[in-house]
Amino acid sequence: MAGTLDTFPRLMLEHARVRPDHPATREKDLGIWQSWTWREVADEVRALACGLASQGFRRGMHLAIIGDNRPRLYWSMLAAQCLGGVPVPMYQDAPAVEFVYVLNDAEIVFAMVEDQEQVDKVLEARPQVPTLQRIFYDDPRGLRHYDGIVSYERLVELGRAFDREHPGFFDGEVAQGRSDDVSVMLYTSGTTGKPKGVRATHAAFLAASRGGTEFDRLDPSDSVLSYLPMAWVGDHLFSFAQWVYVGFTINCPESGDTVMTDLREIGPTYYFAPPRVFENLLTQVMIRMEDAGRLKRWIFHRFMAVARRCGAELLDGRPVGAGDRMLYAIGDLLVYGPLRNVLGMSRIRVAYTAGAAIGPDLFRFYRSIGVNLKQLYGSTETCAYCCLQPDRAVKLDTVGLPAPGVEVRIGDNGEVLVRGAMLLKEYYRRPDATAEAIDADGYFHTGDAGYFDADGHLKIIDRAKDVGALAGGAMFAPNYLENKLKFFPHIREAVAFGHGRDRVCAFINIDIGSVGNWAERRGLPYSGYTDLAAKPEVYALIRECVEQVNAELAQDPALAASQVHRFLILHKELDPDDDELTRTRKVRRGFVAEKYAVLIDALYGGKTVQHIETQVKFEDGRSGMVAADLVVADARTFGPDVAKRAA
């Protein structure tokens, strides 16, 4: 699309004109899928925009969007843009205290929230947010006796009346929109400090949408499940920007608990998830297989060995022997096809992952069973659009080629620098940060360390600030090591340490679902995470995983020094509410190292047990303490010859 279709509102109106009866949005409510066409969406957005205008919303103002993926929240983003305003989606799982920071930093006056839970948090934050004036809500359950807030239905009624009284207002506001207007403000994950508001224009997200659409040949017949946080740049690109640019269908699940069921029912053709989702799906598969009968387990493992040997090669169209082709065809009938169906991936034509590095082993697993999973590379500041992996040219250890319209180069210090139309306009009220991030030549400094391979594919080593060296001079890339550990379904999170040290040690979070299932099948009783994590049997289980990773690392001369010598299993799960993870589940490495300094000292000081007391935040807002005596365990390391035999 070209010409005057240079803003999202104008694109929405064009879809309503050329494909009025095509489904634009679906939502599952009370077990039933409901659908809205592009004509209906455009009509709803018009009324909603006029309703906001009737309440005083005007060009340049910010509208907070808080809640799970709901059609009305996506429409609210379009309504704000129609008026020249800026939607500011916020993480719905954040506590009220985090709301205060973003609401104040973004100078929010109007907020559109999903339900009673979100209304309660906004009302709790409101006394500390002097700019906040009006709160609107989608789901009325539990809100009958709340004063000073307005329902979505009432706002739409006011809008329709306003539209009748001012018949040319809406079209005039849409006509005023410019491609270089800010279309959205998304907050960074804040791994190293307070999140920053990234202001991106219509032109930036449309450039990213256009490039991705042409690259993967998307069209209006495609369908996406919209279930990731609306505040995350990945969801905004796939579930909003590309949705409005292409005109395909977005599908909102009934709840976070029904995502897998809803995924199977919808059978999307286009799918996007961060690595943690793919890790969790694999964990669920492995748990189910452990519970299966002996024959099923044998069939599964027999044919998964075939898939690991040739599945990715077949997907890429590379030559494979006739025997393996025949075995894979049988495996597809017995294992891979049913597995794709269970995962809701039977119809997927293109699947992407981004947001964090994905381990090559996890990547290979999905491609080996016939899922066209690819990596993209980008960030909030680049509209999640820097590099893409072409079909039939996917490498497990790279993030692909520079995306159409994007220039990528490596700085003198090894940092990845990018330039293109998809870059942010600015950080909100942070000219210093903007000037620091974008150099005089227009390149954005990503903060990632990487290099190009012989085929021009970009390989990301780690965050530049995290890449270090062991005391002996060997490179230490903690993220790479952590991803190899997290491939095992029993390990949910890992944090590796080693920069400036003589050896590598690690914290481990077990996966309570996977390890709990493993323990129950062995009659091993436990009362909760802390109790289970301390079991000697669990330590033995995790030691096997660590030592398998060590054996693999030992075969690579560049990584052999990164083998894990000692580890401990944390007494609690790392949690965003405790500031240990970002809302996108990235480890706040510096914060974790400072908070658990006594445990790091135990790892490197030769201790075998270390007592720890940790303050935690509960879901109801209360705080408490978790105390435990943590065992520090040793793991075997390998030389290259021994490693080959162990592997």
CATH number assigned to the domain comprising residue 60? 3.40.50.12780
Residue 44 phi, psi dihedral angles, 5° rounding: -65, -45
Q: Looking at the predicted structure, is the pLDDT value of residue 641 above 70?
A: no
Look at residues 357, 559, 549, 384 and name the one whose alpha carbon lies nearest to residue 449: 357
Q: Which position has the token pair 């920007």?
A: 241
* Mean pLDDT for the stretch of residues 423-436: 96
Residue 361 lies in a domain: no
Residue 68 lies in a domain: yes
Structure tokens at 25: 């949005």
**272, 297, 329 — which closes off a domain?**
272
Residue 441 lies in a domain: no
Alpha-carbon distance of 111 to 61, in angstroms, equals 11
pLDDT tens digit string along 216-259? 999 999 999 999 999 999 999 999 999 999 999 999 999 988 99
Structure tokens at 316: 């890429």
Listed in sequence order, the residues at least 6 apart from 378 whose beta carbon sits closer than 8 Å to its beta carbon are 208, 233, 354, 384, 385, 386, 387, 422
Structure tokens at 370: 């016939």
Q: Which amino acid, 134?
A: R
**Distances in whole angstroms, Cα of residue 493 to Cα of each of 42, 181, 295, 378, 503:** 43, 40, 32, 23, 20
Q: Looking at the 3D structure of the chain, how many domains does it have?
A: 2
Looking at residue 304, its pLDDT comes to 95
The partner residues of 494 in beta bridges, in order of sequence, read 508
Residue 522 lies in a domain: yes
Q: Judge whether 198 and 427 are in contact, CB under 8 Å.
A: yes
**229, 254, 272 — which closes off a domain?**
272
User: How buried is 472 (Cβ within 10 angstroms: 0-12 exposed, 13-18 middle, 19+ buried)?
Assistant: exposed
pLDDT tens digit string along 328-359? 999 999 999 999 999 999 999 999 998 666 77
Q: Looking at the predicted structure, is the pLDDT value of residue 555 above 50?
A: yes
Q: Which amino acid, 312?
A: A
User: How buried is 285 (Cβ within 10 angstroms: 0-12 exposed, 13-18 middle, 19+ buried)?
Assistant: middle
Q: Judge whether 131 and 109 are in contact, CB under 8 Å.
A: yes
Q: Express as a percent the part of the chain with pLDDT over 70.
A: 97
Alpha-carbon distance of 215 to 209, in angstroms, equals 10
Label each residue of 538-559 as H, E or C: HHHHHHHHHHHHHHHHHCCCCC
Domain boundaries, position 104: 8-272
The partner residues of 491 in beta bridges, in order of sequence, read 510
pLDDT tens digit string along 588-626? 888 999 999 999 999 999 999 999 999 888 766 678 889
pLDDT band at 582 (very low <50, low <70, confident <90, very high): confident
Residue 410 lies in a domain: no
Q: Looking at the predicted structure, is the pLDDT value of residue 173 above 80?
A: yes
Q: Looking at the predicted structure, is the pLDDT value of residue 3 above 90?
A: no
pLDDT tens digit string along 513-529? 999 999 998 999 999 99
Looking at residue 622, its pLDDT comes to 75
Number of residues that this document lists for the chain? 647
**272, 291, 318 — which closes off a domain?**
272
Listed in sequence order, the residues at least 6 apart from 599 whose beta carbon sits closer than 8 Å to its beta carbon are 507, 568, 570, 610, 612, 630
The rounded mean pLDDT for the chain is: 93
Residue 268 lies in a domain: yes
Structure tokens at 210: 């256009």
- Write down the pTM of the prediction: 0.85
* Mean pLDDT for the stretch of residues 558-568: 92
**Distances in whole angstroms, Cα of residue 250 to Cα of each of 176, 242, 246:** 28, 10, 11
pLDDT tens digit string along 95-153? 898 899 999 999 999 999 999 999 999 999 999 999 999 999 999 999 989 999 999 99
Distance from the first to the final alpha carbon of the chain: 52
The domain that holds 557 is classified in CATH as 3.30.300.30
Residue 487 lies in a domain: yes
CA count, 13 A, side-chain hemisphere, 360: 13
Alpha-carbon distance of 275 to 357, in angstroms, equals 7
Q: Which position has the token pair 């201790």?
A: 607
Alpha-carbon distance of 205 to 200, in angstroms, equals 7
Look at residues 2, 3, 22 and name the one whose alpha carbon lies nearest to residue 243: 22
Coil, strand or helix at 445: strand
pLDDT band at 507 (very low <50, low <70, confident <90, very high): very high
* Mean pLDDT for the stretch of residues 157-165: 98
Residue 3 lies in a domain: no
pLDDT band at 34 (very low <50, low <70, confident <90, very high): very high
Judged by average pLDDT, the poorest of 127-131, 442-446, 468-472, 630-634 is 468-472
